[in-house]
Amino acid sequence: MANDPLLQPFQLKHLTLKNRLMMTSHEPAYPEEGMPKALYREYHVERARAGLGLTMTAGSAAVAKDSPPVFNNILAYKDEVVPWMRELTDACHEHGTAVMIQLTHLGRRTRWDKGDWLPAVSASHRREASHRAFPKQVEEWDIERLIRDYADAAERMHAAGLDGIELQAYGHLMDQFWSPLTNTLEAPYGGDLENRLRFTFDVLRAIRQRVGETFIVGVRYTGDEMLPGGLTAGDGMAISRRLKESGLVDFLNVIRGHIDTDAGLTDVIPIQGMPSAPHLDFAGEIRRQVDFPTFHGAKIQDVATARHAIASGKVDMIGMTRAHMADPHIVRKIMEGREEEIRPCVGANYCLDRIYQGGAAYCIHNAATGRETTMPHTIPTAAKKRRVVIVGAGPAGLEAARVAGERGHEVVVLEAASDAGGQVRLTAQSKRRREMMGIVDWRLARCEALGVEIRYNVWAEVEEVLAEKPDVVIVATGGYPMEDQPEVGHDLVVNTWDILSGHVAPGSRVLLFDDAGDHAALQAAEVIAATGAELEIMTPDRSFSAEIMAMNLVPYMRALQRPNVTFTPTYRLKSVQRGEGELLARITSDYAVQDQLDLDQERRIDQVVVNYGITPMADVYFDLKPHSSNGGEVNYDDLIAGQPQAVVRNPDGSFQLFRIGDAVESRNTHAAIYDALRLVKDI
Ligand SMILES: Cc1cc2nc3c(=O)[nH]c(=O)nc-3n(C[C@H](O)[C@H](O)[C@H](O)COP(=O)(O)O)c2cc1C
Ligand code: SF4
């Protein structure tokens, strides 16, 4: 371990970073009233305690009021941020972790109808596709004010005791000045590259005047927009050199690409199914040619790739950001030779997609991330050992088994199928989503290490469960696709699971009716479209795939935007009948008023695939209820407060009974895993 390249210190000017691993800046949308309070602090401290070298806090902390918090950003333009950042920094410093913050003005990457309802500003009026504001073009008084705002925010972070800052320049105001695509200003801030960089160097000079030499200042910037007419790799190299030669900057943090569209953002921050470390060589080339401290991160999910990035000298600090959301203890596990215990980031991007929908960033399979003040990353041993029987080895059942195992209980899992994973295994049938199996495989490995017994091919009924003489029974049997839709003709349709599992081959003229808006529909659509079938994807919703968020939609659209596929929102499948060697589907719309009968349409196809959510499959739970002490009841107040369950409805009952995951109602993988962690950590 002592020679591990990742664990070697890095000298950044006066600052010694104790190892080469960092979390690059990311706003998980945890601030409260724009301030990084207890949850924010604990999130970073958990990773600091485990040995992280550098944490770049925030992500897009706003330097000005007209950069409103479009994803619940830290408001670095307020003086009250100083004590909050000081508390966070001091707490991380106690563990030897350096703390910096990313400061930015979002420019056009925001909306005017947030925060103080001030106009969005940019170096042109050009709209950004993702956020949709038509910005005001900056005037000279804006530029003067913004330079001051950056310097004020930097001074606040200096006062809070941080080790440094980085300025964001990819898709935000700073590089909106840089790019010919988004700068239509006249000189001195528009025109040639020199002029387009002027704002940045004005800002950097103003910052240096406030914070002096012994405060680290870096820039996270795009070195190649990869857009016709945008900044080229040659421009990127020139910018990198100018940043170094200015003497105003201490490190470069290299990005490649553009983020003004969901598709562009997804190429910058790749998700599952996309190549690992796609921009590492590019960052390495800048490092090689410019010869200056260089940071980088983009889908480096595993320690081996991170180690290669450092050992090969491509970069000086390597980001493993989502990897640390999935497992906060990566560095400790490396140091203790327990790398194989690292909970893998499976690239599901539930974390990042949620912030663009106004939610907090949660990890699809680590429900303690973002809940550090209430959910433990390290499960304490229970005071009393109990016998816990879990029915079902899908994500909920496996998480319950893992957590019960960590508690020190005696755990038996009864699974009807011949292998574990439930719906996650079905999802992983698609090559592009195979990484999802990490959710299952990691839990199986942990269960094995903890002595959990998993019995396959066991259809658990009351007798099988009672024979185990359990103290606690957890039913995590999941569900199956709802099969009673449409009301007329549901016996003539197949469902998305039939297609995904390969039990039913796609037809040649297919109507896929999606009333759930989740992954199952588009994943099945991908399978069908790949055969060349004529495919119509229909949904009654106002837009398709309502539950699939921005970046997860990108690979689906790349697979489905082809001539044989059409999307039809706002229409509903009413009935299906058999026709002459084909099926007749009747279509209606929730928007139709009664006398608009002409909205009733027909489709002639040879297959109807329905996606209508999950029906819980929980017979064993209902059969067990009379034998249990709590009748399956959960005290929600205690559950939320993190107290053990103490409901007694039947004093003669010999065990507590609980039901989690889709066995309760149709939800998602994260909800199933959170159900399990929240309940079982107090058993
Ligand atoms: C929830 C979340 C929020 C993010 N917000 C920012 C941000 O505000 N600024 C930024 O430069 N990068 C942001 N990022 C991108 C990360 O810094 C990083 O570049 C990206 O996650 C790819 O690295 P990884 O594969 O190691 O996660 C965010 C990432 C996540 C997961
Ligand atoms: S949600 Fe997915 S991408 Fe995000 S940290 Fe968790 S496993 Fe990684």
* pLDDT tens digits, one per residue of 611-645: 999 999 999 999 999 999 999 999 999 999 999 99
The CB of 363 under 6 Å from ligand 2? The reply is yes
Report how far ligand 1's centroid is from the alpha carbon of 26 (Å). 4
Look at the block and give the residue holding tokens 């009673």.
484
Q: What would the mean pLDDT of 16-30 be, rounded to a whole number? A: 98
- Atom 2 in ligand 2: residue holding the nearest Cα: 348
Which domains are present in the chain?
5-358 (3.20.20.70), 387-478+617-681 (3.40.50.720), 490-613 (3.50.50.60)
Which of the listed residues 27, 349, 673 should we mutate to test ligand 2's pocket, taking the one with most ligand atoms within 8 A of CB? 349
Q: What would the mean pLDDT of 78-100 be, rounded to a whole number? A: 98
Atom of ligand 1 nearest to the CA of 168: 11
| Amino acid residing at 93 | H
- Helix extents (H) in 359-413: 395-406
What pLDDT does residue 302 have?
97
Instruction: Report yes or no: 71 and 355 within 8 Å, Cβ to Cβ.
Output: yes
The CB of 364 under 6 Å from ligand 2? The reply is yes
- Nearest-angstrom CA–CA distance, 357 and 561: 24
- Atom 5 in ligand 2: residue holding the nearest Cα: 322
DSSP state of 547: T
Indicate if the pLDDT at residue 209 is higher than 70. Answer: yes
Instruction: Report yes or no: 470 and 488 within 8 Å, Cβ to Cβ.
Output: no
Instruction: Report yes or no: 111 and 133 within 8 Å, Cβ to Cβ.
Output: yes
Instruction: Report yes or no: 320 and 300 within 8 Å, Cβ to Cβ.
Output: yes
- Atom 25 in ligand 1: residue holding the nearest Cα: 299
Report how far ligand 1's centroid is from the alpha carbon of 222 (Å). 14
- Nearest-angstrom CA–CA distance, 324 and 506: 40
Q: Six-digit token pair at 316?
A: 């000086």
| Amino acid residing at 366 | N
Which of the listed residues 266, 274, 352, 549 should we mutate to test ligand 1's pocket, taking the one with most ligand atoms within 8 A of CB? 352
- Nearest-angstrom CA–CA distance, 148 and 144: 6
What pLDDT does residue 130 have?
87
Burial of 635 (0-12, 13-18, 19+ CB in 10 A): middle
Look at the block and give the residue holding tokens 């900044």.
231
Q: Six-digit token pair at 481?
A: 């696709």
What pLDDT does residue 596 have?
63
- Atom 15 in ligand 1: residue holding the nearest Cα: 26
Pick from 672, 676, 44: nearest CA to 407: 676
Per-residue pLDDT tens digits for 361-420:
999 999 999 999 999 999 999 999 999 999 999 999 999 999 999 999 999 999 999 999
Please provide the average confidence, as pLDDT, over all residues in the chain: 96
Atom of ligand 2 nearest to the CA of 350: 1
Indicate if the pLDDT at residue 11 is higher than 80. Answer: yes
The CB of 26 under 6 Å from ligand 1? The reply is yes
Per-residue pLDDT tens digits for 501-540:
999 999 999 999 999 999 999 999 999 999 999 999 999 9
- Nearest-angstrom CA–CA distance, 293 and 277: 19
Q: Six-digit token pair at 677?
A: 């962690």
SS3 content of the chain, % helix, strand, coil (to 5): 35, 20, 45
Strands of the sheet containing 656-659, edge to edge, are 453-455, 410-414, 387-391, 472-475, 656-659
Widest CA span in the chain: 84
Indicate if the pLDDT at residue 598 is higher than 70. Answer: no
Pick from 103, 86, 193, 189: nearest CA to 150: 103
How far are the Cα atoms of 472, 650, 681 from residue 388, in angstroms, in the given order? Answer: 5, 19, 13
pLDDT tier at 595 (50, 70, 90 boundaries)? low
The CB of 347 under 6 Å from ligand 2? The reply is yes
